[in-house]
A and B are shown apart, each in its own frame.
Chain A
Amino acid sequence: MNPPDPITPERVAALEAELAAVKKRDAEFRVSMVQEFLDRGERNTYLHTLHEERTALRRREQESFADLELLVRKLEAANDRAAAAAAELARVRSSFSWRLTAPIRALRGLLGGRPQPAAPSGPERAPVEGARFTYYLHTSPFRVYRDASFTLRGWAWPADGRPITAVRVDLGGRTFIGRCGLPEPEVIARHGEQPGNPRPGFEVTFETPPGQHPLSLEAQIDGGAWRSIVRTTVWCEPRNP
């Protein structure tokens, strides 16, 4: 073992300088530690802001869907009123008095009166009956459809608890069969076990040709009758190229 260095003023000065250097390195390390901590906090704050913005956007999206649904319902009511008026008009036109006064209107037409409207088209296929369902649609159907197809996703079960064995979308008379029995663990956790529908998720992809179409999302109950879960009218307008 070597004897310790003798304590000289030079040795003390060297040790003091070394101690000062160590202290400075330690302080510099702590400064960078604080800076890193602050940067991380800032990143977390930014992330938190992004999360808040995403939540706000989702809320706005839901509000927009609610507004759109209201407008769709109003349009449907207006369409119903127009159909009722057309039916009333057809009834008037087929009445005895209308036929009796036809020559007078023909004469007025020859003298420059208004052109006669076309006769209404024939009746559409009778829709399936509705039924009470507990359901939710992850992708809202209340929208303007811009793409060539759309996938409706959600979950549902009938109020009487019977199993859904198939799902489909009827779009203006065209039928699109979907998939059912998809897992929805969060829904089951929230609403409790559904013995008839342990996997209540579904999805249906359907084409969206341009124009206005009646849409009916339908479920087959226990391999028997089809029942409508939700019905609406949709507008399909392809994006401009």
Chain B
Amino acid sequence: MSARDANTRWRDSTSTLGERSAYKQVWDRQSQDSDVAALAVAGHTDEPTLDLTGRQFVDTLRGTTGLDPADVILEIGCGIGRVGKVLSRECLHWFGADISPGMLRHATARLQDRPNTTLVELATVGLQEFPRDAFDLVYCTIVFMHLFEWDRYRYVQEAHRVLRPGGRCYFDNFPLDSAHGWEVFTASSAYPLDRRPAHVSMSSTREELGIYLRKAGFADVQVRDLPNELIAATGVKPA
């Protein structure tokens, strides 16, 4: 199946901005087959590129929060398990949470040879499925651009709850003031008012991410500019 076909089907599967908060519905519609799902969450469909970007992100985590083979890790919005497939080799156990059961079906297929992985469908925004003080690392990548600000903060708060004291967190988004950020912004502004898609990417500011983490109670909060034109906020749950 060609990427061009997948592009067309993806466009057909999108919802309008008014439905953005119905995350489960919006993202399940985009998970109809593995190509459309991959395009929706990663922007490409071929497995080598998915693996490469997965490895690049694991390097980013290693350079920001650090990684330990004994880590118990939770990814918020794991989608098709692009990162989990790589990261599960470098930790004790990887948990992937997503609001879309359709995305998790694809993730299940991609992670079937990874016994130290668990996939969990989130009922709604938040991590109510998980207990407190459980994880060493909680991260969320390429997700915040699809969420409203209140829901971004909700996940930061929830990450603080489920992390063990001393646990680390990572959240990223694209900033408006990068070349890529401005390109996404102007491209999105071209949509007619009534046809803005629900998944349309919305930027964050460095200040916004830092505020979320500090308000949620994280210490050692740092906001970094990454080489791939993303900004990432990291923090540690005080012991």
Contacts and interface: CB of A to CB of B under 8 A. Distances in A.
A167 B81 CA distance: 68
B95 A34 contact: yes
A66 interface: no
Interface stretch (A22-30, A57-65, A158-166): A22-30
Interface string B152-193: 000000000000100000000000000000000000000000
Contacts of B93: 27, 31
Interface stretch (B9-17, B46-54, B126-134, B213-221): B126-134
B134 A33 contact: yes
Interface residues of A, number: 13
Interface size class of B (residues with CB under 8 A): 10 to 19
B98 interface: no
A27 B166 CA distance: 13
A33 B131 CA distance: 8
B1 interface: no
Given A30-B135, A38-B120, A20 B70 contact: yes
A24 B69 CA distance: 9
B56 interface: no
A30 B73 CA distance: 11
Given A27-B72, A30-B72, A31-B72, A38 B129 contact: yes
A150 interface: no
Given A20-B70, A27-B72, A34 B134 contact: yes
A27 B131 contact: no
28 contacts: A20-B70, A23-B68, A23-B70, A24-B92, A27-B71, A27-B92, A27-B93, A27-B136, A30-B72, A30-B134, A30-B164, A31-B72, A31-B92, A31-B93, A33-B131, A33-B134, A34-B72, A34-B131, A34-B134, A34-B135, A35-B118, A37-B129, A37-B130, A37-B134, A38-B118, A38-B129, A38-B130, A41-B129
Given A27-B136, A35-B118, 14 more contacts: A20-B70, A23-B68, A24-B92, A27-B70, A27-B71, A27-B93, A31-B72, A31-B92, A33-B131, A34-B130, A34-B131, A34-B134, A38-B118, A38-B129
